[in-house]
Amino acid sequence: MTDVIHPTPEETAAAQEAELRRVWSNPKGWRYWTSVNNTQIGLWYGSAAFIFMLFAGVLALIMRLQLAVPDNDFLSADLFNQAFTLHGTVMMFLFAVPIFEAVAIFLLPSMLGARELPFPRLSAFGFWSFALGGVFVCGSIFFGAAPNSGWFMYPPLATDKQYSGIGADIWLLGLSFIEVASIAAAVELIVGIMKCRAPGMRINMMPLFAWYLLIVAGMILFAFPPLIAGDILFEMERMFDWPFFDAARGGDPLLWQHLFWIFGHPEVYIIFLPAIAIMAMIVPTFAQRPIVGYSWIVLAAVGTGFLSFGLWVHHMFTTGLPQISLAFFSAASEAVAIPTGVQIFVFIATMLAGRVIFSIPMLFGTGGVAIFVIGGLTGVMVALAPFDWQAHDTYFVVAHLHYVLIGGMLFPVVAGIYYYYPLINARKLSDRLGKIAFWLMFVGFNIAFFPMHLTGLHGMPRRVFTYPADIGWDLLNLISTIGAFVFASGVAIIVFDILRPKHREPKTKTNPWNAGTLEWISEPEENWGVRSIPIIKSRYPLWDQPGLIDGINAGRFYLPDAVEGRRETLVTSVLDAEPLQCLRVAGTSVLTIIAAFALGGVFIALTFHWWILTVLCAVVTLATILIWLWTGTSEIPRQTMRDIGLGKQMPLYASGPASVGWWAMFITMAGDGTAFASLMFGYFFYWTIHPDFTAGLPGPGSLLPLTAVALFILAWLAMQMARYVNTKGRLSSARLCLVASMILTLTACAAGLAGPYLHDMQPTAHVYPAIVWVITLWTVSHGVVAIIMQAYCLAASFAGRLTAVYDADLRNVVLYWHFLTVTALTSFGVLGLFPELR
């Protein structure tokens, strides 16, 4: 007999790793760009955001050249307006938020001990949407068509087509497209952090970076939708002359300011908190001890995020608001300093309790904190209404804004680049160049922006393209321009340090900084988060669990292999991170690129009023997304359980609250509900400012809107019944319920539209019929989406992909219907009964 030769454990592990590397490898050639690995997408995201930042920086230098001397004609007034509008827009929308989404997508899989985040195709779709929207918005300046009304686009200036031209439409529709990418990233991050942590990583053991990103992603869900709602109203006025901001026809420009700053002030903390998150990873590493006051800093971050939504009116102190409003929002603006200060003092305590190792990341981090503290002190000043009345719209506010954003965001980002660069290239950046760059940036920044406090107190207003001589602004502006170029030279050194060839330099060892968190177990050449998914017992597992890196890389933990050649990761419980499911994530696909470019075509075609192309691109977008869903990971697995290692088996399929798809739907609809609430806020805002909201014009009546409410409720009940009978295995009855719900939904949409149509409500005549039509169209469009979802479930049922056990799609659609029913009940209930019953 011939002896059977069994492979050694080392040979088995090597074979498993080789198979994993094959499954997770990026495609070659042009298909490389169809990659959906989150590590790759994170690098693309970050690179694009950094390029946009450099573009915005060049615009800033051009503006400083114009302002260096009085009566300068280097730029025309219109080109200067385009430059400062694009500078603010790019920095806020195309760099400050996306750079942290990029860092999160790149780091979180390994930091959480996960193989991958749950929706890699969604990340890829978000990146391509972001990149295309950014090129569209930035490229407009080369054709003289850039927006020129400021990054906040205040009406009536921005609604005046003769002044703003097509630039305002590019801003509105381009940024709406970019906001899609931000919300997509937020959904990915929330679900990934809550459901894809390594076993044992309880919620109170998560890395602080994950805590901060969870808070920020939640803030995005509630901050961006009001801006989307405002964009809808704004573009309807520009495109169809619906008078939402036209005071002569009942509108009010202040509504835009409310909606914009409900987004705009949380945006500041959406930018600031991830920067603090980077510092929360750097400080313990270079203090060589765990963070002091873990619970305090988490609570402070939550408090900062919560309070940030109660501060927006301090941007509107000069608009004539009641004194009680000024007092409340002034107090809230002061209060946010408390949780912010807690976070700073936690870092100081950690450094005092440890032995600080001075390094380039610590240099940039501490320098940024010092600058941010100065910005915070001036923030306390402008939070006081009497002072704000004097400083509002002067260069004092410009100085305050840049001290907060550059100190609170850009310097920590550079610290993160120097800290995490070994994960990208297995090499460190130059310490010598880093020190030179820091001092040029630190000194140049203060030379550039500190004098602006004095310039503003001397009365120089923001957004002026020139100024006369001999009024005391000449020297201060010249100093600021010199400082800006010194600061830019420091940035240029960092760019050179990143781009210079490093192939002759020795590679760093794994975890070169001796950090304690899991992201340092990954290797730059690998496309997965971790080789095998570990069991975590500490907040700093690399310090407290000896041999963990070797065990992970040897495949001694969960999912050491890819037996069926599929990309897989673990789904765990929200609180205790107990394993629940082996999730098969989607692989490489060109569909994400097609969907992003088709959706981009919708927004671009709308900008130029190319209606036929808009419809065609919308059809392609819808078809691509449906194919994407159909060919994704929702197919019925060949086996129900998967051996994940260590003697455990996990199901390959989950539905309802146990599935990541259900959570994604819930989170998406929470953001959608916020946008709807913003539209309803607009409805009642108009009611409060007018003695007669309707201006004597007819409303939609009560009968048809209430009929629509009743029909939507019946359609919802039919969906509930479809889910119930489907779980009993009565597939024919489930299909009949789906068809009945589709018919009821279609009828409800028709009844909703008939109300304002049959009562001849003309949306161009007055704001009352305009807001009624917008709310009606919002609800009806969601009804149409529901019909498409129902048709998808019906097709899946007939194809054998929707059964009594495998019913995730149906459960997700039922969840959508819960939100839709609340929307319909609120919208048509208000339109039908109010203001008739007031």
The predicted-structure confidence for 292-319, as pLDDT tens digits, reads as follows 999 999 999 999 999 999 889 989 999 9
**What are 712-756's pLDDT values in tens digits?**
999 999 999 999 999 999 999 999 999 999 999 999 999 999 999
pLDDT (average), residues 583-590: 89
Q: What angle do CA 387, 319, 324 make, to 5 degrees?
A: 75
Show the tokens assigned to 495.
């760019």
pLDDT at 380 over 70: yes
AA letter at 344: I
Look at residue 838 in the predicted model and tell me its pLDDT. Answer: 43
Whether residue 498 is predicted with pLDDT greater than 80 in this model: the reply is yes
Of the listed ranges 143-147, 187-191, 564-568, 632-636, the least confidently predicted one is: 632-636
pLDDT tens digits along 690-710: 988 899 899 999 999 999 999
Task: Average the pLDDT over each of 199-213, 497-511, 567-581 and give the range with the smallest value.
Answer: 497-511
Give me the pLDDT at residue 633, please.
62
| CA proximity to 212, closest of 285, 271, 298 | 298
CB 529 within 8 A of CB 114: yes
Q: What is the pLDDT of residue 3?
A: 57
According to DSSP H, which parts of 140-251 are helical?
161-164, 167-195, 208-240
CA distance 807 to 518: 35
Q: Give me the mean pLDDT over the 85-93 stretch.
A: 95
Question: Does residue 631 sit in helix, strand or coil?
Answer: coil
Is residue 766's pLDDT more than 70? yes
Q: Identify the weakest region by mean pLDDT among 231-240, 499-508, 829-838.
A: 829-838
Average pLDDT over residues 557-580: 91
Closest alpha carbon to 560 in 1, 6, 19: 19
Adjacent-strand bridge partners of 582: 570
| Whether pLDDT at 131 is above 60 | yes
Give Cα 673 to chain centroid, integer Å: 16
Type and span of the H or E element at 643: strand 641-645
CB-based burial of residue 43 (10 Å sphere; 0-12 exposed, 13-18 middle, 19+ buried)?
Answer: middle
User: 611-630 and 767-798 helices cross at what angle (nearest 10)?
Assistant: 40
Rounded Cα distance, 422 and 495, in Å: 16
CA dihedral 822, 826, 829, 831 (to 10 degrees): -140
Per-residue pLDDT of 19-30, as tens digits, reads 888 888 888 888
- Give the whole-angstrom CA distance, residue 148 versus residue 66: 16
Report H helices in 140-166.
Answer: 161-164
Residue 365's nearest CA partner among 407, 422, 393 is: 407
User: Is 5 a residue whose pLDDT tops 80?
Assistant: no
The band of 121, judged by pLDDT with boundaries at 50, 70 and 90, is very high
- Angle between helix axes 731-758 and 808-833 (nearest 10 degrees) is 20
- Picking from 94, 88, 93, the residue whose alpha carbon sits closest to that of residue 50 is 94
Please give the C-alpha separations between residue 581 and each of 36, 255, 293, 426, in angstroms, as whole numbers. 21, 46, 33, 33
Lowest mean pLDDT among 107-111, 162-166, 524-528, 655-659: 524-528
* pTM: predicted TM-score of the whole model, two decimal places: 0.95
Average pLDDT over all residues of the chain: 93
3-state secondary structure of 358: coil
End-to-end CA distance of the chain: 95
CA–CA dist 378, 404 (Å, integer): 9
Q: What is the pLDDT of residues 636-667, one digit of tens each?
A: 888 899 999 999 999 999 999 999 999 999 99
Structure tokens at 133: 């929207």
99, amino acid identity: I
What gap in Å lies between CA 54 and CA 413, rounded to an integer?
Answer: 14
Q: Give me the residue label for tokens 């203060």.
A: 446
* Nearest Cα residue to 197 out of 108, 103, 105: 108
Query: Does the structure show a pLDDT above 60 at 837?
Result: no
For residue 6, name the pLDDT band (cuts at 50, 70, 90).
low
Task: DSSP letter for 763, please.
Answer: T
Residue 596 has φ and ψ, to the nearest 5°, of: -65, -45
Token pair belonging to 369: 């904190």
Angstrom distance (rounded) from CA 118 to CA 589: 15
DSSP 496-556: HHHHS--TTSPPPPSSTT---SGGGG--TT--SS-SSBPPP-SSSHHHHSTTHHHHHHTT-
With a cut of 70, say whether residue 836 has pLDDT above it.
no
